[in-house]
Structure 1
Amino acid sequence: MTWRDRWFHLKRRVCEFFEDQWFDRTHHVHTSGDVSLRNAGIATGEEADSELYVPARPKHIREALHASPIPDASPYTFVDIGSGKGRTLFVAAELPFRRVVGVEFSARLHEQACRNVQTFRFRGKDGSRVEPLHQNAMEFRFPDGPLVLYLFNPFGAATMQVVLNRLNESLQRDPRHTVMVLLWPRCGEQVARVRGMQRVCGTQRHEIFQAYAPMRQS
């Protein structure tokens, strides 16, 4: 690694640190800091397809959400699968989603998210629409109505396939506009195989898919 590479890496880490701190201070929450599987309370035997908690940068989340093909967020339920301490939930709560739901397997991270919901304040908004759930994503039942699903590599391909199978079953029972946002995507090919799911756009940082016709504005 050259000195330029080292300088760029250091500069990026410093910027990320201050962006994290600014987000937490302005939203009155604590979402910063990576958490290992051990510190998250993931038991031995449950680690194989799990990933450590790394909070996404707020600007990357906002970029992905603003690129999503939804004319109006208000009819949609936003679901973050692998929601950790809740950072993405609070970014989503800046938008007028009908509901903002988080699904988290780690009890410790879920408890921190619940504490954050109680203290969250941002430009007159509170945590009343934010619903953290302590649940295994493979058992999650997708809500009725149009959806925006967000994943930042919370688990490996095996768990992802189970989640996608359940989503496929849900969409076959109740076809509705569903948008899937992948941040720093690793499972795009799996998502593309879901019946009715089509790739909308993609960059290095995010990949976005949708199923079925988008809702029309009245």
Structure 2
Amino acid sequence: MWVGDFESEAALEMIRRYFEPIPRQEPPPPVVTVEPPQKGERRAALEFDANPTLLMGWHTVKISDSDFPVLEVMQGVLADGRTSRLYQRLREKAQLVSDVWAYQTQNEFPGMFLVSADPIQGVSAESVEKILSEEIQRLAVEKVDDWELQRVKNQLKSSFVTDLESNYVLARQLAEFECLAKWDLYLDSDKLRQAVTAEDIQRVAQKYLTDSNRTVVNLKPTSSPAKTPGT
């Protein structure tokens, strides 16, 4: 993919010169790797010479699924910015963590919705997990307020528009979406996110963010962990 200020004909001539002599090959057979449904919560505790981290993940959907933009908005409700639910509750109010984030992975095949938090020194992973679980459950039982939903949509639109201002970022996104699904899905992605409703978020949380579909990993330091900034 070419981006920037260039002459189309000159670019095509160069592409033909270097690539046209290469014989066309049959495409390799597609590799389909789909994990079977999880039938119960999984837990792991790892010891590593690092600061403690708690990671929770749920099996979800591929990037072309209609529920994908809902999960992107849900990610924003939970952890995008200082006014997000997890940042406010875990860092601002309880002051239990140095960092918290949420992310829906972008995959050709079904991905995962991830939530992670870094407890500050002296804080147990169990106390952080309790609050994370409460906020996840809250998405399933309570509808997101209109103002909160609009805040996240505004953030997502701002990020989308900013990406369009960069030829490099636009090219990278189009290429990535073509590899994972189809290139024009990226152009529709903001419209799909803006159409997400509070009912969609509640439905998707009830469908995917269940205990039986969850994996919890607790990274424990093997020795005295390095001090986290702000602790």
| TM-score relative to the length of structure 1 | 0.27
Structure whose residues are more often helix by fraction: 2
TM-score for both structures, normalised by structure 2: 0.26
